[in-house]
């Protein structure tokens, strides 16, 4: 089942929270600021990030863990085998009108 269909299935519920490993590296581009804020650990976005942002924007969702300000050590979700490169690929998406309900990610 497609992710869009799953969200449509649960459309009658007030709050939807999506936790997923999108393998997306969301950057800090100003064009995405409304959907994801500026607290990403990555400077630029990859292809999966663009897809993730477009999906979130089309569903009026925000990426909560890139909105909240934390030290980088608390943001990354995967460490490369070299032990020196840290990547943030897991994200929490929530309806924009309910995003203030999440205080920490």
Is pLDDT at 81 greater than 90 in this prediction? Answer: yes
Sign of the Cα pseudo-torsion (20, 23, 26, 32, in order): negative
Residue 68 contacts residue 39 (beta carbons within 8 Å): yes
Give this prediction's pTM.
0.85
pLDDT (tens digit, 9 = 90+) per residue, 14-73?
788 999 888 889 988 988 888 988 888 888 899 999 999 999 999 999 999 888 888 878
Confidence (pLDDT) at 56: 93
SS3 state at 18: strand
Is pLDDT at 12 greater than 90 in this prediction? Answer: no
């Amino acid at each position: 089942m497609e992710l869009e269909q799953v969200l449509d299935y649960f459309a009658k519920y007030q709050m939807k929270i999506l936790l997923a490993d999108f393998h997306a590296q969301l950057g800090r581009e100003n064009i995405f600021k409304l959907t994801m804020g500026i607290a990403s650990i990555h400077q630029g976005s990859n292809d999966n990030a663009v897809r993730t942002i477009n999906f979130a924007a089309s569903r009026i969702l925000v990426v909560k863990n890139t909105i909240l300000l934390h030290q980088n050590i608390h943001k990354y979700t995967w460490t490369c085998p070299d032990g020196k490169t840290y990547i943030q690929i897991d994200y929490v998406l929530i309806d924009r009108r309910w995003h203030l309900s999440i205080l920490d990610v």
